[in-house]
Structure 1
Amino acid sequence: MSAERSAVVVGGGVAGLATAALLARDGWSVDVLERSDAVGGRAGTWESGGFRFDTGPSWLLMPEVFERFFAEAGTTLAERLDLVTLDPAYRVLFEDGDPLEVVADRAANLATFEAAEPGAGAALDRYLRSARSTYETALRRFLYTSFDTPGGLLHPEVALQGHRLAPLLLRSLESFVARRFREPRLRQVLGYPAVFLGTSPDRAPSMYHLMSALDLEGGVRYPRGGFGRLVDALADVAREAGARLRTGWEVTAVTTRATGAGAAGAGAEGAGAEGAGAEGARPGRAGRHAAVTGVRCTDPGGVERHLPAALVVGAADLHHVETRLLPPALQTYPEAWWRRRDPGPGGVLAMLGVRGRVPQLAHHTLLFTRDWRRNFADIAAGVVPEPASAYVCAPSRTDPTVAPPDHENLFVLVPVPADPGLGRGGVDGRGAPAVERVADAAIDQLARWAGVPDLAERVVVRRTVGPGDFAADLHAWRGGMLGPGHTLRQSAFLRAGNASRKVAGLYYAGSGTIPGVGLPMCLISAEILRDRVRREVGAPGAAGRAGSRAPTRARRPRVGAP
C-alpha cells in the first residue's frame, strides 16, 4: 500500500492495539511497532511454576465502554471475553476498625454503610445518584471528545448542569466525601478511587466521585483466564482488520518534512530525508511546522530501518514520544512542560505463588492505613510510606486456571513515589534492596492484617517490579505506574491533547493523553483518535476522500478474515 495510506502505531499496549484495529477498519495500512517481545504494555502477563500473573490492570469497570469498542471493531464483547461479576467486589482491611465488604448489590452496600454510621445509608443513596448522573454526563459529553472544538462544552446539557458541574471541578474529592460521611472507613472507601486515577483524594476533583457509581452499584468484572485474554482479544481484532503487529521493533525517531511557513523553523531538525513526499496528512494546518513521513526504527535483528507513513500514532508513553522521538523545535510538550506536571504514583509490585489456599482474601482486597493523609503526602514528597496502604489481587479465588491446584496466585501492589532511583525488581528476592524491602513489608503487613501468619513461608514463586522497571521497560515518565495523575490541571480538556500542534499527521493515544488512565480510557482514546483522523485527514478505505467520515458502525468481519 502506498505511503499515503500507511499508518504506524508506536507502542503495542491496549491503546495501541485498539487504535490499530479501528484505523485498519477505516482502510489504513497499519503497522504496530512494539519494542518488547510481546504486545500488551502495562497489561502484561508473566508465567512461572504453573502460575500465570497479570502484571498490570486487574479491575474491569465500565463494561459499556468495552461493549462499545468491540462493536466499533465489528464484533461483540461477549464473543471475545467471558466476564464474571465478582461478589464480593472487594474486601477492605483497615489498620483500625473492622473489615468492610463491597458487594455486587446496591441495596446491600447501602445497608453496610448504614451499619457503620447511622444515616450513612441514605447519604450513600444520594451520593450514588449524583455519581451516576455525573458519570452518564461524562460519557455523553466529556469522555468521547478530543476537545479540539468547543461543541461539547457548549452543549445545552452541560450548560443546564453548569451550576452542579463547576463546583465538582473546584472542590477536592476528599472534602466532597467528608461533607457527607464522618466514619473514617467509609471516607476511605469513597476516596480510594482517586488512586485508580493516579492521584490522591485531596488532589482529585470531586467530579471523580462518579467512580463510585462503577463499583458500588455497577459491579466489578473479571475476564476468565486473566487480563491477558483482553490483550489477546485486542490483538485478534487488530489482525483481523488487517493490522500487522511487529514485536521487538524499537522506534528511534518520528521522521518529518518541513511544510509551509514553518519550513525555516523546522529545518533539517524536523525532517528526515526519508519518506519525503508522503502526502496523506494535510500539512500546513495552523501552527504546524512539519508533516510526518514515517518513523526510524530498529528491527529485531538490530537493522536500522525507515518505515514511510502518512500517519503516526504515538501510543507509547507520551513524554517519551514527545521528548525522545522529536527534535525540540517540533515538540508540543517539551521537557519544560513536563516539569510542571504530576506523574502520578510509582508502584512496587510483588507477584507471589503461594502454597495452599488463602480464604481470608477476596479476589480484590484493599489494605488502608490509619494515617491516610500522611500516606499520600509521603508519596507526593518522594518518601516511601511506612506502613503503606496496599492492594492485593487473588485471581485464583475466582479462576482456577491461574495457579496450580491447592495454590493461590497473589498480586500485591504498593503505591510509592514515581522515582526510578528506587530501582528494579527481580525474581526470588534479587531485585534492588529498596524494592525488596517494600515487598517484604507488604507481605508481612498482609499476613498480620488478614490473619495468615505463615504467608511468607508458603511463597514458592516470587517476582517483584519497581519504578525502575516501569521506566526502563515501558519508557514510563519518571517511572510512573499509571500515567499522569488526574489532578484538576490534568483532567478533561486540561490534559495533553491527542494531536501534535507542530507536526501534521502525528497523533497520540493512551494514558498520557485524553481522556486519561485506565483500560476504559485507553479504549476511548483510540476511538476519539480515529474520529479526529476522519475529520482532519479522512479515511483512505471505502470512504475514500480526505475529510469524509466513514460510518461509525462497520460490518462485522468473519473470524479469521485478513
Structure 2
Amino acid sequence: MKKKIAVIGSGFSGLSAAAYLAKAGNDVHVFEKHDHPGGRARQFTTEQGYVFDMGPSWYWMPDIIEGFFADFGYKTSDFFEMISLNPQFEMIFSNEKIDVPESLGELKIVFEQIEKGAASQLEKFMQSAKFKYEVGMQDFVNKPCHNWAEFISPKIAKSALKLDLFTNFRTYVARYFKSDKLRTLMEFPVIFLGASPKNIPALYSLMNYGGYALGTHYPLGGFYQLVLAMKKIAEKQGASFHFNKTVERINTQTDKVKSLTIDSKNYEFDVVVASSDYHHTETLLDREYRNYDETYWEKKTFAPSSLIFYLGVNETIPNLKHHTLFFENDLDEHIDCIYKKKWPEKPLFYACCPSKTDKNVAPLGKENLFLLMPLAIGINDEEVVREKYLTEMLSRIEKHTGMRDLQSTIEYKKSYCVSDFMSDYNAYGGNAYGLANTLGQTAVLKPKISNKKLKNLFYTGQLTVPGPGVPPSIISGKIVANEINKIKN
C-alpha cells in the first residue's frame, strides 16, 4: 500500500529522497519555501545577463552522482553536457602557483618538480586513497547508522587498519610529502569538511581520489543543471513539487506525525522527510518530541559558513582559471579564526570564474566571478565588514592577473553571508556545510536519521549521515528513502 509522503525542502537530499520514494510507488509531495528547487544550489539570473550558481561549484565524485541517475535508468548525459576541466584548478601561494592538471600522470610530474621523489609518493598516496574511496563510498556511507552493529562485517573488519580512522589527516599527509606547498595542496579538500586537517580522520584522503584522480568537472549551464535533472527524474517517478510553500509546524498525535501546517493550512501525511535544516525542523515540533535540545547543538562542531560575492565584471579577466584558490596566507591561522568565531586577519579564499568555460553564464566579453571565503558561523556579518574583505580579495586577484582597478569593472554585485544562510535556509548559526566530519561526529555519532519518539518522521541532508557535500547529500536522501520503503503499513 502506497504512503502519502511529504518532503520538506528541495535541496539535493530532498530531491534524492523524493525520487527514490516515488519510484517505490509512494505519493510524494515536496514543499519548498523558495520559488524554485535546489536549496543552497539555487541559481539566479541578473538583468545584465549573468547567471550565478549560488552554492556548490566543485563537481567531484562524478561516479557517485552518475550512480543516482543509473538507479533510474538514466545517465547524466541524458540531461546535461559535462566538461572535464584542465587544469582542474590553480592554487596561488605567496611566491608560486601550482596548476593541478586533468590527469593524475601529469600531476605526478608537477609533484616531482616541486619535491624529488614526490611522484612515487603521490602514486602510493592515491593507491591508498582509492582503496578508502571504494570502501568508504560503498560500505561506509550507505549505512543508516542506527548503531555500530551495521559496521560489523568481515570486509570492514579486514579493511579497518587500512582506512586510517584514528590517524589525523595532517599527520597522514606529512608521511608522504615534505614540501609545505604539496602538503597544503593535499590538505585543501578536507577544509570544507569543517575542521583543521589535524582534527579530520585520514580516512578522508578518499576526497583526494574523488577529486584529483577522478577529475574536476563542470556541467554546461552551471551546477544548477544537476538540480534540474534530479527534479525531472523525481517528477518522472511521480513526485509533485510545491513552491513558495513554508512549513510552519509539524503536528503530532501520540507517537506519530499527523499533519504539517503549511501557510496556515493543515495537510495530513503518512510519513514526513525533513530535508530542511535539522535543528530548524525540530523547532517545528513540541519540545517533548525533539531528538535533541539546544545544548546538544551548541556543543557540536560545525563546518564553516561563508562570505560569498557574486560579481558581474564588464571586462575579461586575464590569467584567471575556472577555479582558483588564493592560499598566500597560512591555512591554520584562517581555520583557527573560524573556530575562535572571529573574522580572519589573513584570509584564504576561492575564486570561481565559470565564464572561462561556459559562454552562457556571462554576456560576451564579460566575466561571471564568484568569490568565497570560509567563515565562522554565528558571526556578525554587516555590510561594511563584507565590503572590507571584498576589497582585499579583489586586490589579490589584481596582483595575480595583472588587472588594474577590478572594482571599477564590476557592473553587478551581490553579497551573501551568515545572516543570509539563516534567513534563506534556516541554517543553524548560518552554517553553509553542515556538521564537521570530525571523528567524534562520524557515522553513528551524527544526528539520527529517524525521530526517536515519532515513528514516521525522518531527517536527511548535511546535518545527518553521511555528511556535508553534494554526493553525500544525494546518498543521504537514498538512505532515508530505503528506510521508509522498508516500513510495513
Is TM > 0.5 for Structure 1 vs Structure 2? yes
Residue equivalent to 2:262: 297
Whether contact under 8 Å (2:192, 2:303) holds in the other structure is no
Give 1:36-435 correspondences, 5 Å limit: 36-48=34-46, 49-95=48-94, 97-148=95-146, 150=148, 152-165=150-163, 168-258=164-254, 290-298=255-263, 304-322=264-282, 324-423=283-382, 432-435=383-386
Opposite residue 299 of structure 2, the aligned amino acid is R
Out of 472-481 and 169-178, give the one that drifted further. Answer: 169-178
The runs of at least 4 aligned residues of structure 1 exceeding 3 Å deviation read 149-152
Whether contact under 8 Å (1:8, 1:294) holds in the other structure is no
- What are the Cα deviations for residues 1-24 of structure 1, in whole angstroms up to 9, with x where unaligned? x9x721111111121122111111
Structure 2 CA distance for aligned equivalents of residues 149 and 492 of structure 1: 9
**What secondary structure is seen at the aligned counterpart in 2 of 1:515?**
coil
Identity %: 31
Whether contact under 8 Å (2:7, 2:28) holds in the other structure is yes
Opposite residue 64 of structure 1, the aligned amino acid is D
Residue equivalent to 1:502: 453
Residue equivalent to 1:278: none
Residue equivalent to 2:30: 32
**What secondary structure is seen at the aligned counterpart in 2 of 1:351?**
strand
- What are the Cα deviations for residues 60-114 of structure 1, in whole angstroms up to 9, with x where unaligned? 111111111112234322212211111110011112x310011111111011111
Partner residue of 2:17 out of 11, 16, 19: 19
Whether contact under 8 Å (1:88, 1:101) holds in the other structure is yes
Whether contact under 8 Å (1:142, 1:152) holds in the other structure is no
Whether contact under 8 Å (1:197, 1:485) holds in the other structure is yes
Partner residue of 1:492 out of 429, 443, 465: 443
Give ranges in structure 2 of 5+ residues lacking alignment: none
**What secondary structure is seen at the aligned counterpart in 1 of 2:119?**
helix
Structure 2 CA distance for aligned equivalents of residues 478 and 291 of structure 1: 29
Structure 2 CA distance for aligned equivalents of residues 208 and 522 of structure 1: 16
Residue equivalent to 1:528: 479
**What secondary structure is seen at the aligned counterpart in 2 of 1:332?**
coil
Whether contact under 8 Å (2:258, 2:269) holds in the other structure is yes
Structure 1 CA distance for aligned equivalents of residues 342 and 66 of structure 2: 40
Opposite residue 36 of structure 1, the aligned amino acid is H
Question: Offset of 1:151 from its aligned partner?
Answer: 5.3
Out of 205-214 and 74-83, give the one that drifted further. Answer: 74-83
Question: Offset of 1:249 from its aligned partner?
Answer: 0.9
Whether contact under 8 Å (1:420, 1:471) holds in the other structure is no
Structure 1 CA distance for aligned equivalents of residues 76 and 242 of structure 2: 25
Cα gap change, 1:82 to 1:151, in 2 (>3 Å): farther
Opposite residue 310 of structure 1, the aligned amino acid is D
Please provide the CA RMSD for this pair. 1.5
Structure 2 CA distance for aligned equivalents of residues 370 and 406 of structure 1: 32
Question: Offset of 1:525 from its aligned partner?
Answer: 0.7
Structure 1 CA distance for aligned equivalents of residues 229 and 138 of structure 2: 26
Structure 2 CA distance for aligned equivalents of residues 208 and 372 of structure 1: 18
Cα gap change, 1:376 to 1:150, in 2 (>3 Å): closer
Structure 1 CA distance for aligned equivalents of residues 404 and 332 of structure 2: 28
Give 1:455-470 correspondences, 5 Å limit: 455-470=406-421
- What are the Cα deviations for residues 296-317 of structure 1, in whole angstroms up to 9, with x where unaligned? 111xxxxx11110010001011
**What secondary structure is seen at the aligned counterpart in 2 of 1:510?**
coil
**What secondary structure is seen at the aligned counterpart in 1 of 2:408?**
helix
Equivalent residues, number: 488
Whether contact under 8 Å (1:439, 1:464) holds in the other structure is no
**What secondary structure is seen at the aligned counterpart in 2 of 1:32?**
strand
Whether contact under 8 Å (1:294, 1:311) holds in the other structure is no
Cα gap change, 1:446 to 1:419, in 2 (>3 Å): farther
Question: Offset of 1:433 from its aligned partner?
Answer: 1.4
Whether contact under 8 Å (1:470, 1:476) holds in the other structure is yes
Out of 440-449 and 208-217, give the one that drifted further. Answer: 440-449
Residue equivalent to 2:396: 445
Whether contact under 8 Å (1:32, 1:243) holds in the other structure is yes
Structure 2 CA distance for aligned equivalents of residues 242 and 469 of structure 1: 33
Whether contact under 8 Å (2:377, 2:431) holds in the other structure is yes
**What secondary structure is seen at the aligned counterpart in 1 of 2:363?**
coil
**What secondary structure is seen at the aligned counterpart in 1 of 2:312?**
strand
- What are the Cα deviations for residues 45-72 of structure 1, in whole angstroms up to 9, with x where unaligned? 1211110010100011111111111122
Opposite residue 33 of structure 2, the aligned amino acid is R
Cα gap change, 1:5 to 1:215, in 2 (>3 Å): closer
Structure 1 CA distance for aligned equivalents of residues 192 and 36 of structure 2: 25
Question: Offset of 1:150 from its aligned partner?
Answer: 4.6
- What are the Cα deviations for residues 424-452 of structure 1, in whole angstroms up to 9, with x where unaligned? xxxxxxxx212222222212222223332
Structure 1 CA distance for aligned equivalents of residues 474 and 309 of structure 2: 27
Structure 1 CA distance for aligned equivalents of residues 202 and 401 of structure 2: 31
Structure 1 CA distance for aligned equivalents of residues 72 and 453 of structure 2: 30
Cα gap change, 1:150 to 1:493, in 2 (>3 Å): closer
| Higher Rg | 1
Residue equivalent to 1:481: 432
Opposite residue 340 of structure 2, the aligned amino acid is A
Q: Which has the higher contact order (CA 8 A, sep 6+)?
A: 2
Opposite residue 207 of structure 1, the aligned amino acid is L
Question: Offset of 1:420 from its aligned partner?
Answer: 4.8
Give ranges in structure 1 of 5+ residues lacking alignment: 259-289, 299-303, 424-431, 539-545, 547-562
- What are the Cα deviations for residues 508-553 of structure 1, in whole angstroms up to 9, with x where unaligned? 1111110111110111011111111122x14xxxxxxx4xxxxxxx
**What secondary structure is seen at the aligned counterpart in 2 of 1:453?**
coil
**What secondary structure is seen at the aligned counterpart in 2 of 1:350?**
strand
Opposite residue 227 of structure 1, the aligned amino acid is F
